[in-house]
Structure 1
């Protein structure tokens, strides 16, 4: 790449406009342009580069509304409408950028320090003197300024509009300002919208945030609970209980003095009891990944405190720390309960999709076979595919199972089918 030798020299004309002349310095033109645009962004007087006026959008007279503080002038970004936490900021001294927080976004607070109180390190003036202490002070004053603005906004905005700034209030530790607001931000609530599973990164998420803030009356009408269960370890009972009741879940983020806490029912403080209704039998499922005892019944009841729900359509895994078994009511012939028991992740944290699918297919056949009224139909559901064994095609077999479900004997009937074999006895 060719470089053009230039020199950057400020030239002041009688209108007070600073222009840039280019002479004899080894610098690439694009780099010069980028650097000058950054330096001019907060500059107090207009800057020309190659006869073009550079943007001074962060300058004190650039159209932004600044607040006078003990450290200088501060422009607060993101206070007109909610737009995330808004925690990043740029600092200027005598119009030149001297510090920038994490540069992950272009949406930033702007701070012009009072040059009579703060000084830059000589000769380059690219660092603040005692920078760490100054930045600590800046953050404290910025937080105070944001708090004062929110206190003002609370008197002018509607409740729904004010709680919309939840993310910013949370980041700046100002959630106490919501304590007496009669609506709850949706970020503090969850709804159970689908069958609970143990791993929402692998399987679908069963919780979602409400689409709007909710009033006290709306929350009272539905009820709100907290659950602190790991489904693999503790089972899905409390989640299935809350889902069947359409309870809201508290997300656990509001200030300790918020009025919502008095309405939250903490389900982990109550004993969980699950009882089957008309249990028929138990059987052992042995898949490639999951081995588990399964109890078959018409329904099961989940009891928490004085409340009982009866479930007929969704199986429940009781957790490794509890019974470590699965309860399958008559209304569920799917394999969805395996998603409560295991995430099917390898030791390298990779989802084993083929194993999950094979176990799911096997579990569906297992459930159908164990709930079929006709033993022949159950046997047919459980038989593997023999398409890779042409020597067995067209042959009839008599199969006898022992008390553990293992083949006690298998007899082939010769003369039935074109590939008839002699009788074979397996003990």
Structure 2
């Protein structure tokens, strides 16, 4: 171990050779004996050997420091100063990419200002939208992820970077869908206020959001077990922020409880994924109601088909399940009759052959 002499004694800094988290724990020794250690399970700790001429143990057990709280406060201050000095020297000798790799440690020790003039941004400060935005990433899939590596100023400027301060359930998904469509980076809000990146960030919540439908056909009310919501069916919709407009045809958008509280459903989206924007399907005990989510999703798909199918045969084709698990049905044809509630009333093999008629009429009426 290589120790640094300081005003309080000798300090060994752990985790300065390569990034390995925040590195905030430390063990304190006096006259070679342990006298202070935090109650944590990490084995990654800085080591401090106190100067025995300046610090003293409490008698008779000598297992605690005299004025421990004040001493620990002083230790933390000197430790932070020592870490800062080490990082300043490191910054002059390693690559920018290697230096920003210590982001977590710099953040914990309030040293993010050292990144202000570094030409790359640590991935921890950035996010990419990689999937359809949803209101609850603990229940549904996460739609954001860190970039794989640090990014240069040129790379960030080429893509653009924005900040979004919306709760999707409350404020809607419009700004997130806009950013996803444009492939913008998201600023994660963690750098020092003097960092150069702030001058590049476009704050979308400072701009008026306008969503316009294109060739809207009609509106209908979806009534599920959990979700009740108005749905506007259209060819596409446009999201306008400032002078920029994106047109979306393939993903539905929930506008949020504090806005129109409805769903805009373009022709290219026949799924129920938009329900994941308007509800988390959590009970009053914070438990995910999976069966209710699945039943509402199935009902919503049927609802979309009913409102967008070009003819009854098209609707039937889109609503039929996959029969790949039943080889006996492969290559067969059937005549299906539905009752007034849309439930199967009878199913007959086609063409009908003598002695081979298969009907479900008796089963349906029982």
Q: What range describes the TM-score normalised by the shorter chain of this pair?
A: 0.7 to 0.9
Larger Rg: 1
Deviation at 1:231, TM superposition (A): 0.2
Deviation at 1:369, TM superposition (A): 1.1
Alpha-carbon offset, residue 101 of structure 1: 1.9
State the TM-score, normalized to the length of structure 1.
0.75
Counterpart residue number, 1:237: 174
Q: Secondary structure at the match of 2:239?
A: strand
User: 2:61 and 2:137 mapped to 1: Cα distance?
Assistant: 52
How far the C-alpha of 1:217 sits from its partner, in A, is: 0.2
Matched, 1:228 2:165: yes
Secondary structure of the equivalent of 1:284?
A: strand
Whole-Å Cα distance in 1 between the matches of residues 231 and 316 of structure 2?
18
Aligned length: 335
Task: Encode CA deviations 1:303-337: one digit per residue, 9 max, x unaligned.
Answer: 00000000000000000000000011000000000
Provide the rounded CA distance (Å) in 2 between the counterparts of 1:335 and 1:397.
Answer: 24
| Structure-to-structure mapping, 1:168-187, within 5 angstroms | 168-187=105-124
User: Using CA pairs below 8 Å that are at least 6 residues apart, which structure has the higher relative contact order?
Assistant: 2
**Matches of 1:417 and 1:261, distance apart in 2:** 67
TM-fit CA distance, 1:183: 0.4
Aligned to 1:312: 249
Distance 1:121 1:99 in 2: 12
Task: Give 1:112's match in structure 2, choosing from 45, 49, 74.
Answer: 49
Structure 2 unpaired stretches of 5+: 321-334, 343-358
Q: Does 1:342 pair with 2:257?
A: no
CA spacing shift, 1:397–1:192, aligned 2, 3 Å:
closer
Runs of 4+ in 1 over 6 A off after TM superposition: 379-383, 394-398
8 Å CA contact retained: 1:369, 1:381:
no
> TM-score, with normalisation over the residues of structure 2?
0.87
User: CA offset at residue 398 of structure 1?
Assistant: 7.6
Query: Does structure 2 conserve the Cα–Cα contact (< 8 Å) formed by 1:370 and 1:378?
Result: no
The alignment's C-alpha RMSD in Å is 2.3
2:232 equivalent to 1:292? no
Aligned pairs for 1:28-427 within 5 A: 64-375=1-312, 378=315, 399=340
User: Could you tell me how far apart the structure 1 residues matched to 2:214 and 2:40 are?
Assistant: 60
Cα distance change on mapping 1:274 and 1:395 into 2, 3 Å: closer
1:4 match: none
Q: Which residue does 2:352 correspond to in 1?
A: none
Gaps of 5+ in 1: 1-63, 384-393, 402-415, 422-427
The 1:169–1:419 alpha-carbon spacing in structure 2 relative to 1, beyond 3 Å, is closer
Is 1:93–1:114's contact at 8 Å kept on the other side of the alignment?
yes
- Secondary structure in 1 aligned to 2:70? helix
Change (3 A) 1:283 1:376: farther
Give the C-alpha shift of residue 420 in structure 1: 12
